[in-house]
A and B are shown apart, each in its own frame.
Chain A
Amino acid sequence: MLIQTVMIALTSKLMKNDKELQMQIQTNRDDHRIAWLAALAITIHLLESVIPSPVPGLKPGLANIITIIVLCRFGISIAVWVNLLRVIVGSLILGTFLSPTFILSLSGAISSLLVLALASWISKHSFVHFSAMGYSLLAAMAHITGQFVIAYLLLIPHPAMWKLFPVLLSFAVLLGTVNGIISQNILKRIL
């Protein structure tokens, strides 16, 4: 219940339905888009956090579907906004803001966004064109790699941790593929 209330309050703020806010800040079409999509991504993020995971650190990353769709539909800059808002607001709601969990999910988000930015730039400026499938795979692998590097540097500076890396990377490939297929299908329906 509490979460729902916070969610409604937050999304309404983000959507600038609040009259007071609307008077102060001019919003444009992109802002509204970001708010809507971020709210959706946050909801998925929250739902996902309740699903128990067999291996610590292993999550389906369904919220990444939103990132991929946003990237394909509206471009990298909106994807960056949506993804970072998801991580930050999601952690505020879950009460993990600035905690290790937050640092890990932020570092995963940042590294996948960096890779996506590079990939979309390549798609735009060369004959190599990635689709949702490729983006999703790249994002998933970058996500887990970024998390591992940061976890090793900041949280568990122990070499034994890297033994897990190939396993989690394999899962990332698998989940990246699944998410890619889902994104592709959703994109087909929207278009």
Chain B
Amino acid sequence: MKKFFVVFLVAILLGGCTPKPQEYRDTLFVFGTVVNITLWGVEKTKAEQAIKDIEKDLKYLHVVWHPWRFGAMSRTNELLAYQEWFSANPSVLPVINKSKKLYKLSDGLFNPAIGQLIGMWSFHHDEILDGPAPDEKKIEAFINDLPTMDHVEVDNFRIRSTHPKVKLDMGAIAKGMAVERVIDYLRQAGIKNAIVNAGGDLKAIGNHGDRAWSVGIRHPRKDGILAGLEVHDNESVFTSGDYERNFVDEKGKIRHHILDPRTGYPAKGTQSVTVIHSDAGLADAAATALFIAGPSQWLKIAKQMGIQQAMLIDEHGKVLMTPAMAKRIQFEIEPEQKEIVALP
């Protein structure tokens, strides 16, 4: 009788114990930001190993691409100042080549050669402190003799600057390229379903089991989520906002980190720009460029950069969307004003 019963109990327990594929999340404090990695349907040991490798790689990239800390990029900046040809470090060359291309496509709005201007605005600190805005005359002088990516010449593996003030700061593209690299690594490791979110900008592959990955876009002014979005395989979502890295100047004015290379001042007219594209590096640069372009020119720049899906929130909180973006976005906080605007 008792044996008979034990068999049943075992059968019940075994029936209830089938392992289910699960979500695996981890948070890394690397690359000067918080990186969240979400994997789905990956064995725990495999996931742990992958995340360890990613952490190592992102720590390396942070040093290599850092604009002012000792590393490959800051060494490149030193050598560029001589305005002579030199062999570029292989780890910075792809970023420079890509930046040159995107500089052209964005009509110069994405300009990583203005490292000195960013320094003047003292955005060159991990912690941004409140303080006075830089001297107007200094900014004017810089803008009148603006260094650009066209002043950085690349000949195979050699590189030189033709402008004395060129100083590369890849802040507007490094995050995108790093995310792209992490995704490539995950794919090579045989991981098919993942979201990599580096400080709010993300790329997804695969899905969350039986449904698509869902992503919330934070409201630029209020607490909470402005809109939700299903993100499909190989899509990145990047947002540039005036609320991210900013400080208050001596007049109590909020100065954010997205500098307009045409004026030398933080770009005006925009609260945030969100861009969806398969290439995370391009999406990152485009979000910055469209932000600077502002409501009057963003569509033209988007078209040039090959962006179909973009949303811009202007200084009054009005939401402008391309038709492809409007089709998939689900508002949670319904904007008071919104408009669907076709690409030219």
**A and B: direct contact (Cβ < 8 Å)?**
yes
User: A: which residues have CB within 8 A of B?
Assistant: 14, 25, 27, 31, 34-35, 81, 84-85, 88, 98, 106
**Are B12 and A34 neighbours in the complex by a CB distance under 8 Å?**
no
* Chain A min CB distance to B85 (Å): 65
Whether A34 lies near B15 (C-beta < 8 A) is: no
What are the nearest 9 A-B pairs in CB distance? A31-B1, A98-B15, A88-B8, A27-B1, A25-B1, A34-B1, A98-B12, A84-B5, A106-B12
Q: A27-B1, A88-B8, A98-B12 are in contact. List 12 more A-B contacts (CB 8 A).
A: A14-B1, A25-B1, A25-B3, A31-B1, A34-B1, A35-B1, A81-B5, A84-B5, A85-B5, A98-B11, A98-B15, A106-B12
In the docked arrangement, what's the CA distance between A25 and B3, Å? Answer: 10
* Complex: chain B residue closest to A25, CB-CB: B1
Could you tell me the distance in whole angstroms from the C-beta of A75 to the nearest C-beta in chain B?
A: 17
Query: What's the Cα separation between A31 and B5 when bound, in Å?
Result: 12
15 A-B residue pairs with CB within 8 Å? A14-B1, A25-B1, A25-B3, A27-B1, A31-B1, A34-B1, A35-B1, A81-B5, A84-B5, A85-B5, A88-B8, A98-B11, A98-B12, A98-B15, A106-B12
Size category of the binding interface on chain B: under 10
Least Cβ distance of B15 to chain A in Å? Answer: 5
Chain B residues 1 to 17 lying within 8 A of chain A, measured CB to CB, are 1, 3, 5, 8, 11-12, 15
> Which chain A residue has the least Cβ–Cβ distance from B1?
A31
Which residues of the other chain, A, contact B5 by a CB distance below 8 angstroms? 81, 84-85
- What residues of B have a CB within 8 angstroms of the CB of A85 in the complex? 5
In the assembled complex, the CB of B258 is this many whole angstroms from the nearest CB of chain A, namely 43
Q: Which residues does chain B contribute within 8 Å of A34, judged by CB atoms?
A: 1
Interface of B is mostly: helix
Residues of A within 8 A of B12 (CB): 98, 106
Closest to A34 in B: B1
Q: What is the CB-to-nearest-CB distance from B211 to chain A, in angstroms, rounded to a whole number?
A: 15
> Closest CB-CB distance, A90 to chain B, in whole Å?
12
Contacts of A35 in B (CB 8 A): 1
Q: How far is the CB of B18 from chain A (nearest CB, A)?
A: 12
Chain B, residues 12-32, CB within 8 Å of chain A (1/0): the string is 100100000000000000000
A-contact 0/1 string along B161-178, CB 8 Å cutoff: 000000000000000000
CB distance from B338 to the nearest CB of A (A): 32
Contacts of B11 in A (CB 8 A): 98
Q: For residue B3, which residues in chain A have a CB less than 8 angstroms away from its CB? A: 25
CB A181 to nearest CB in B, in angstroms, measures 32
Report the minimum CB–CB distance from B281 to chain A (whole Å): 40
Q: How far is the CA of A52 from the CA of B12 in the complex (A)?
A: 28
Question: B8 contacts which chain A residues (CB < 8 A)?
Answer: 88
- Min Cβ gap B111→A in Å is 52
Q: How far is the CA of A147 from the CA of B49 in the complex (A)?
A: 41
The answer for the CA separation of A84 and B1 in the assembled complex, in Å, is 13
Chain B residue at minimum C-beta to C-beta distance from A27 = B1
User: How far apart sit A14 and B4, CA to CA, in the bound complex (Å)?
Assistant: 10
How would residues 267 to 296 of chain B score, 1 for a CB under 8 Å from any chain A CB and 0 otherwise?
000000000000000000000000000000
Chain A residues whose C-beta falls within 8 Å of the C-beta of B15 in the assembled complex: 98
Measured CB to CB, the closest approach of chain A to B2, in angstroms, equals: 9
Point out the residues of chain B lying under 8 angstroms from A31, CB to CB: 1
A145 to chain B, nearest CB (A): 20
Identity of the chain B residue whose Cβ is nearest the Cβ of A154 in the assembled complex: B16
- Complex CA gap A31/B2 in Å reads 9
The complex places the Cα of A88 from the Cα of B1 at a distance, in Å, of: 14
Closest Cβ–Cβ distance, residue B187 to chain A (whole Å): 33
Q: Which residues of A contact B1 (CB under 8 A)?
A: 14, 25, 27, 31, 34-35
A81 and B5 alpha carbons, distance in the complex (Å): 9
CB-nearest residue of chain A to B8: A88
Q: How far is the CB of A82 from chain B (nearest CB, A)?
A: 12
Measured CB to CB, the closest approach of chain B to A112, in angstroms, equals 18
With the chains together, A81 CA to B4 CA distance in Å? 12
How far is A88 from B15 in the complex, measured between Cα atoms in Å?
Answer: 14
Docked Cα-Cα span, A94 to B322, in Å, equals 59
Q: Once the chains are docked, how many angstroms separate the CA of A34 from the CA of B5?
A: 12
Q: How far is the CB of B283 from chain A (nearest CB, A)?
A: 36
CB neighbours (8 Å) of A81 from chain B are 5
In the complex, what residue of chain A is closest to B15 when comparing beta carbons?
A98
Task: Please name the residue on chain B nearest to A30 by beta carbon.
Answer: B1
